[in-house]
Amino acid sequence: MTPPSLPPFTGGPPVCHTDTDAGQRWTFGFPGGLTAEVHTRGARLHGLWVPDRHGIPADVVLAPRDPARTAAARYFGATVGRYANRIARGRFSLDGKTYQLSAQENGHCLHGGADGFDNRLWEAESVHTPEWTGVLLHLRSPDGDQGFPGNLDVTVSCLIGRDSALSFSYAAVTDAATLVNLTNHAYFNLEGEGAGDVLDHRLAVHADHYTPVDEELIPYGDHRPVTGTAFDLRRPLRIAEAQARPGAGGGYDHNFVLSPHGGDDALRPAAVLHAPSTGRRMEVLTTEPGLQVYTAGQFDGTVLGKSGTPYRAGAGIALETQHFPDSPNRPGDPSAVLRPGEEYRSRTVLRFGTRD
C-alpha cells in the first residue's frame, strides 16, 4: 500500500499538535529535504519523509497505526533507556553494591526495564535556526527508577539540517553513580513504510569484530573477528544474501564493534543502507562504540503499520548506535557508568542522499 502522504512542509519553526495518546506531535523539516514527525511519548521518531532519486518523498520509518494500543510496537522509533539492549538477569554491581533491575525478556532487563523511557511522556521545546530545525526533549528519571540508582536528567535533541541529515544528540547528568546507554530504536525501510521487506536493501557495517550471543541474546566470551563469518559486512551485501550465510541464524540481532575513528567525541562511520529500487541511501555516523543490527526476523504481522500493512519478518531494519549489551557485567567492554559531576554525551547522525 502507498504510505500516507504528508502535507508539503513550507518551512518555518516546528509545528506542534496536541494528541491525547502521544502527548504532542511535532512536525519539522526544510522544503525539498527531510520532514520528520516526533511524538513526545517515548521521545519517538514516528515518521521521516525522504526524497527518492526522482525527488518524490516517502515515509521510511515504521510505526504502528495505533501506537497507544500496540504493546508489540512499544520500541518503534522510541528513545530507549536508561540502558539500551540487555543486562543479564537484570543485575549489575557498582561501587561494591549489587542492583536488581526491572526484568522482562527471559528474566533479563531489556531497554531499561518494563517501564522504560519509551513509555514516558517527555517535555519538548522547538529549535529553529537557518541551518537546523527540530525539537529538544527532556525527561527526569527518579532515583530507583526500574532499579537504577540516582536521579537522572536527560535531554535528547532531534534535529534536521539543510544538508539532509537527521541528528540525535543525547546528554544526561546524575546525582549518584549510575548506568546510562541511550539510543533511538527506529526501524527503516528505504523503499517506504509498508512497501514490503528490506531483503533487497544493501547493508555495509564498519566493524572488524562482533559480539557472540547465546540463545537468549546475552553475550559470552570475547568479541570475535568478522572475517570468514556471517557477520562480515564490511562490503555492501543484499540483506537476504547476508543473513542466509551459515551462522547468521536467518537474521541479525547482534552487536557490531565499530572500528575506531578519531577521538572519543568524534563521529565514526557505522553503517550504510541503500535501497536500489528507490535510490535512497542512509549513512549512519556515531560517537558510540557499537551498532546493534536487527533485521526484524521476529515480526509476525501482529503490528499493523501506518499504511494499514501488517509488518512481517524483515519489514524494516533497526541500526541502534549504543554501548555493548550487558557491558556492566563485562569488565573489558567500554564503561557505561556515569558519576556526579560528569556529563553523558552521545551523538548519532543519519545522512540521507540518493545513488543510482
Rounded to whole angstroms, the Cα distance separating 323 from 83 reads: 9
Instruction: Assess whether 320 carries a catalytic annotation.
Output: yes
Per-residue confidence (pLDDT) for residue 265, from 0 to 100? 72
Per-residue confidence (pLDDT) for residue 21, from 0 to 100? 67
Rounded to whole angstroms, the Cα distance separating 142 from 136 reads: 20
What would the grid cell of residue 241 be? 544474501
Q: Which of 240, 253, 160, 250 is nearest to 203 (CA)?
A: 240
What would the grid cell of residue 260 be? 575506531
For the sheet containing 57-59, what is the strand order?
15-19, 23-29, 35-39, 44-51, 57-59
15-to-29, 35, 191, 271, 338 alpha-carbon distances in Å: 10, 11, 26, 31, 34
Contact indicator for 4, 307 with CB cutoff of 8 Å: yes
Rounded to whole angstroms, the Cα distance separating 156 from 136 reads: 6
Concatenating the DSSP letter of every residue in 191-248 gives T-TTS--STTSEEEE-EEEE--B-TTS-B-S--EE-TTSTT--SS-EEHHHHHTSTTS
Rounded to whole angstroms, the Cα distance separating 52 from 192 reads: 10
Per-residue confidence (pLDDT) for residue 3, from 0 to 100? 32
Per-residue confidence (pLDDT) for residue 105, from 0 to 100? 87
The dihedral through the CA atoms of 166, 320, 57, 201 has a sign that is positive
What would the grid cell of residue 157 be? 535533541
Angle at 128 between CA 355 and CA 184, to 5 degrees: 60
Per-residue confidence (pLDDT) for residue 51, from 0 to 100? 97
Residue 84 phi, psi dihedral angles, 5° rounding: -65, 145
Contact indicator for 345, 156 with CB cutoff of 8 Å: no
Which candidate in 39, 206, 320, 323 is catalytic?
320
pTM score, whole prediction: 0.94
The dihedral through the CA atoms of 249, 250, 252, 256 has a sign that is positive
Distance of CA 128 to the CA centre of its chain: 23
What would the grid cell of residue 79 be? 528513545
88-97 CB contacts, 8 Å cutoff, 24+ apart: 88/218, 88/326, 88/329, 90/147, 91/329, 92/179, 92/328, 92/329, 93/328, 94/149, 94/177, 94/178, 94/179, 94/328, 94/337, 95/177
Contact indicator for 127, 135 with CB cutoff of 8 Å: yes
Which candidate in 111, 185, 223, 323 is catalytic?
185
What does pLDDT average to in each consecutive run of 10 residues of the chain (356 residues)? 40 80 89 95 96 97 84 94 98 98 95 96 95 97 98 98 96 98 98 96 98 96 97 98 93 94 78 98 98 96 94 97 98 96 98 93
Per-residue confidence (pLDDT) for residue 2, from 0 to 100? 30
